[in-house]
Amino acid sequence: AQSVTQLGSHVSVSEGALVLLRCNYSSSVPPYLFWYVQYPNQGLQLLLKYTSAATLVKGINGFEAEFKKSETSFHLTKPSAHMSDAAEYFCAVSDQQAGTALIFGKGTTLSVSS
Protein backbone atom coordinates (compact mmCIF):
# COMPACT_ATOMS: atom_id res chain seq x y z
CA ALA A 1 0.00 0.00 0.00
CA GLN A 2 1.12 3.51 -0.68
CA SER A 3 0.92 6.50 1.60
CA VAL A 4 2.13 10.06 1.90
CA THR A 5 2.98 12.04 5.02
CA GLN A 6 3.23 15.79 4.91
CA LEU A 7 5.08 17.14 7.94
CA GLY A 8 3.57 20.36 9.20
CA SER A 9 -0.06 21.13 8.52
CA HIS A 10 0.73 24.84 8.50
CA VAL A 11 3.89 26.65 7.41
CA SER A 12 4.34 30.41 7.75
CA VAL A 13 7.07 32.38 5.98
CA SER A 14 7.84 35.99 5.26
CA GLU A 15 7.78 37.34 1.75
CA GLY A 16 11.17 36.70 0.17
CA ALA A 17 12.03 33.83 2.51
CA LEU A 18 12.74 30.24 1.55
CA VAL A 19 9.73 27.96 1.28
CA LEU A 20 10.20 24.33 2.36
CA LEU A 21 7.25 21.96 2.44
CA ARG A 22 8.03 18.41 3.52
CA CYS A 23 6.69 15.20 2.04
CA ASN A 24 7.65 11.60 2.82
CA TYR A 25 6.20 8.67 0.95
CA SER A 26 5.80 4.95 1.41
CA SER A 27 5.59 2.69 -1.62
CA SER A 28 6.44 -0.95 -2.32
CA VAL A 29 7.12 -0.14 -5.99
CA PRO A 30 8.93 2.75 -7.68
CA PRO A 31 6.56 5.65 -7.24
CA TYR A 32 5.40 8.57 -9.26
CA LEU A 33 5.27 11.66 -7.02
CA PHE A 34 3.39 14.90 -7.44
CA TRP A 35 2.87 18.27 -5.81
CA TYR A 36 -0.43 20.03 -6.35
CA VAL A 37 -1.53 23.50 -5.23
CA GLN A 38 -5.06 24.51 -4.32
CA TYR A 39 -6.05 28.16 -4.07
CA PRO A 40 -9.22 29.04 -2.10
CA ASN A 41 -12.39 27.75 -3.75
CA GLN A 42 -10.40 26.37 -6.67
CA GLY A 43 -9.49 22.97 -8.02
CA LEU A 44 -6.06 21.40 -7.80
CA GLN A 45 -3.30 22.54 -10.11
CA LEU A 46 -0.21 20.46 -10.80
CA LEU A 47 3.01 22.16 -9.67
CA LEU A 48 5.44 19.42 -10.65
CA LYS A 49 5.87 15.67 -10.95
CA TYR A 50 8.57 13.02 -10.59
CA THR A 51 8.30 10.07 -12.95
CA SER A 52 11.67 8.32 -12.52
CA ALA A 53 13.66 10.63 -14.77
CA ALA A 54 15.72 13.45 -13.19
CA THR A 55 15.62 13.45 -9.39
CA LEU A 56 15.52 17.26 -9.24
CA VAL A 57 12.26 18.37 -10.75
CA LYS A 58 11.41 21.95 -11.66
CA GLY A 59 7.83 23.09 -11.76
CA ILE A 60 5.73 26.15 -12.32
CA ASN A 61 5.92 29.41 -10.36
CA GLY A 62 9.57 28.83 -9.37
CA PHE A 63 8.95 25.68 -7.32
CA GLU A 64 11.16 22.62 -7.41
CA ALA A 65 11.38 19.30 -5.60
CA GLU A 66 14.06 16.66 -5.15
CA PHE A 67 13.35 12.94 -5.09
CA LYS A 68 15.54 11.21 -2.49
CA LYS A 69 14.99 7.47 -2.53
CA SER A 70 17.23 6.84 0.50
CA GLU A 71 15.13 9.23 2.57
CA THR A 72 11.81 8.39 0.87
CA SER A 73 11.28 12.11 0.57
CA PHE A 74 10.05 14.56 -2.05
CA HIS A 75 10.25 17.98 -0.40
CA LEU A 76 9.01 21.09 -2.20
CA THR A 77 11.08 24.26 -2.17
CA LYS A 78 11.03 27.79 -3.53
CA PRO A 79 13.93 30.19 -2.95
CA SER A 80 11.82 33.31 -2.41
CA ALA A 81 8.19 33.33 -1.33
CA HIS A 82 5.63 35.66 -2.87
CA MET A 83 2.33 36.69 -1.33
CA SER A 84 0.61 34.91 -4.19
CA ASP A 85 2.09 31.57 -3.05
CA ALA A 86 -0.29 31.45 -0.08
CA ALA A 87 -2.40 28.35 -0.68
CA GLU A 88 -2.89 24.70 0.26
CA TYR A 89 -0.23 22.31 -1.03
CA PHE A 90 -0.72 18.59 -1.49
CA CYS A 91 1.86 15.90 -2.05
CA ALA A 92 0.59 12.77 -3.84
CA VAL A 93 1.92 9.35 -4.82
CA SER A 94 0.96 6.85 -7.47
CA ASP A 95 2.30 3.39 -8.35
CA GLN A 96 2.73 4.00 -12.09
CA GLN A 97 -0.11 1.66 -13.05
CA ALA A 98 -2.51 2.97 -15.64
CA GLY A 99 -5.71 4.20 -14.08
CA THR A 100 -4.33 4.11 -10.55
CA ALA A 101 -5.61 6.95 -8.44
CA LEU A 102 -3.41 9.43 -6.67
CA ILE A 103 -3.00 8.98 -2.93
CA PHE A 104 -2.79 12.38 -1.28
CA GLY A 105 -1.18 13.65 1.87
CA LYS A 106 -3.24 15.72 4.29
CA GLY A 107 -2.00 18.98 2.87
CA THR A 108 0.07 21.90 4.13
CA THR A 109 -1.31 25.41 4.36
CA LEU A 110 1.31 27.96 3.35
CA SER A 111 0.91 31.48 4.73
CA VAL A 112 3.07 34.32 3.47
CA SER A 113 3.38 37.55 5.43
CA SER A 114 4.69 40.89 4.21
Q: Of 42 and 55, which has the nearer Cβ to another protein?
A: 42
Q: E strands of the chain, at which residues? A: 3-7, 10-14, 19-26, 32-38, 44-50, 56-58, 64-68, 73-78, 87-94, 103-104, 108-113
Supply the minimum distance, in Å, between the C-beta of residue 41 and another protein.
Answer: 8
Using only the alpha carbons of the chain, give its radius of gyration.
Answer: 13
- State how far the Cα of 77 lies from the Cα of 58, in Å rounded to an integer: 10
Here's the x/- map for another protein, 31-70, by CB under 8 A: it reads as -x-x-x-x--xxxxxx--x---------------------
Supply the minimum distance, in Å, between the C-beta of residue 42 and another protein.
Answer: 6
Q: Using CB under 8 A as the criterion, which residues of the chain lie in contact with another protein when the complex forms?
A: 32, 34, 36, 38, 41-46, 49, 88, 90, 94, 96-104, 106-107
